[in-house]
Chains A and B, each alone.
Chain A
């Protein structure tokens, strides 16, 4: 009975997800009991003294993702606009779209490698200049010695760019052509049409693109592990090293002893909760915004 077979595989997928959650929780339980909620507020990762805290990592995860979203969002939406609002011919639009999609095909670890060899050296100069002249501004208050928050966020932005662009383009394409036509008819310039008609109408979809991008950024591991610096403290400075939950796991797990593994499992639970939470909130908001645009089609 094919149907039953297929159905059981469907169940299996759900089971897969639940067993992931369960297993991680199970292995984290002893550590969760031992370290309690203080785990979330302490700032040290000290294997020797059994003192673990992931606050810097939590903030680091959110900080780098927000930065990446800001950069990637601006770039992604710019590309989406340039390739959909009639600035260039159809063929160029397709070419640019393909180039951006190629960005998505490059594995995370290769971006990490590129970041180490190209980006960090390239950024070092301007970073030093910014630190020298604007050092009092909290974002520029340290020197860039190597890995740091900014290079990591930059690479992260590049990695979420294709997602944001693709979904934004869909949202922009869904705006019926007759609306911008009306605006042009009233004597609006191209960017007035974009800002006053097209973007507002597509705002739900574009917001979804940003949410998806943010989720991607949160889940990204390797490039961050290689570029963020793995410091145990957190600093607002863009050029200071930082840490994220995923990077913590990537760096400490391979050589962790049993006790540390427990703490790492706890960190994994935190990461899981954050990603689930953000995705859930994002889906909810998406539902509400798409409802508001009924009647356009």
Chain B
């Protein structure tokens, strides 16, 4: 019979079907499960802590003043973050103007024309490297390219630096979106006599637009919060943006950085208020991006 002698050799007592914590394997299993859950809770804790701080320390400052007043100098009370908000918008616009055409068209090349060509492989590789590049190096480059040559710190330099960080995100997500366009659509267009460019422009890009937009928005969300590229390119300013791109400009990110080390409570509070505005903006953009993809999936 299959039973005799086997269980002893296996080291398990026969007929031991009962659940018991004294069984080493069962106890170990329970301990590991508890540990894993504890670690997971630990991992989620910082998010709630950050959100809590944003609300507790940032929300009290929400007022019209916050959005309309200029940033106070060191030691001053009052003021707001209006110029910083505007400055962030300006920088992001410059960054998008720089990165969107570049990333998008490169993605079109990769998805539609590149295939496995040597150039395509190189472009993809460049994209991957750019993704992993420390953000401060984008700032260093923009410094070398713009600040050193123009002799001044400027919003333009900051925009370019931020744009560099956006390029790989735009390029890679746009490529994905373009590749997802079903080939039967392309074949249908070609069969109707459209040439390659027409197919790509009118059919492929059109269809992939939601996905591309999502990618752009995700890149945007990231760009809004980038600080390192702006530290020595756009610097900071306590004044409103007046259309001069070759001047330093305020930004939420640099504001937070500058005020984080301030011993004055007013500045610290403004840093939290700025963080709240920044995080909410980033989340809103992310949510919009997700809604766009969901609407496309439903079609």
Contact = CB atoms under 8 A, between A and B. Distances in A.
Chain B binding surface SS class = helix
B29 A218 contact: no
B275 A6 contact: no
Output the residue of B46, B57, B138, B145 with the most chain A CB within 10 A. B46
A215 to B, nearest CB: 5
B134 A246 contact: yes
Residue among A6, A79, A81, A189 with max Cβ neighbours from chain B (10 Å): A6
B110 A10 contact: yes
A47 to B, nearest CB: 16
A158 B119 CA distance: 37
A27 B144 contact: yes
Interface stretch (B37-45, B60-68, B207-215): B37-45
Contact of A102 (B35, B47, B54, B271): B47
A269 B43 CA distance: 34
A6 B57 CA distance: 48
B291 interface: no
B53 A118 contact: yes
Tell me which of A83, A161, A191 has the highest count of chain B C-beta atoms within 10 A of its own C-beta: A191
Interface string B269-284: 0011001001100110
A3 B171 CA distance: 17
A240 to B, nearest CB: 19
Interface stretch (B75-83, B179-187, B218-226, B239-247): B218-226
Tell me what chain A mostly uses at the interface: helix, strand, loop, or mixed: helix
A112 B255 CA distance: 13
Interface in A82-105: 82-83, 87, 96, 99-100, 102-103, 105
A271 B137 contact: yes
B278 A24 contact: no
A173 B137 CA distance: 35
Nearest to B199: A2
B145 A23 contact: yes
B105 A79 contact: no
B33 A7 contact: no
Given A16-B164, A26-B144, A221-B134, A100 B44 contact: yes
A219 B120 contact: no
Given A3-B113, A191-B32, A13 B123 contact: yes
A117 B126 contact: no
B93 interface: no
Nearest to B218: A105
A1 B109 CA distance: 12
B105 A9 contact: yes
Interface string A1-41: 11101110111111011011001101100000000000000
A276 B197 contact: no
B109 A113 contact: no
Contacts of B109: 6-7, 9-10
A215 B43 contact: no
Given A113-B256, A113-B260, A79 B39 contact: yes
Contact residue range for chain A? 35 or more
Contacts of B47: 99, 102-103, 106
Given A13-B102, A271-B137, A279-B129, A81 B257 contact: no
Nearest to A17: B126
A74 interface: yes
Contacts of B119: 7, 10-11, 14
A226 B53 CA distance: 17
Contacts of B253: 107, 109
Given A3-B197, A191-B32, A253-B143, A219 B132 contact: yes
Interface string B88-114: 000000000000011101101110111
Contact of B106 (A12, A87, A192): A12
Given A108-B227, A118-B49, A158-B46, 17 more contacts: A2-B196, A7-B114, A12-B106, A16-B167, A23-B144, A24-B144, A27-B144, A75-B39, A79-B39, A96-B40, A110-B278, A113-B275, A221-B134, A271-B136, A272-B134, A275-B134, A279-B129
28 contacts: A6-B112, A10-B106, A10-B123, A13-B102, A16-B102, A17-B126, A20-B164, A26-B144, A27-B144, A27-B148, A75-B39, A75-B42, A75-B43, A81-B36, A100-B43, A105-B279, A106-B225, A109-B227, A114-B49, A117-B57, A165-B43, A216-B132, A221-B135, A222-B257, A250-B136, A254-B232, A271-B134, A272-B133
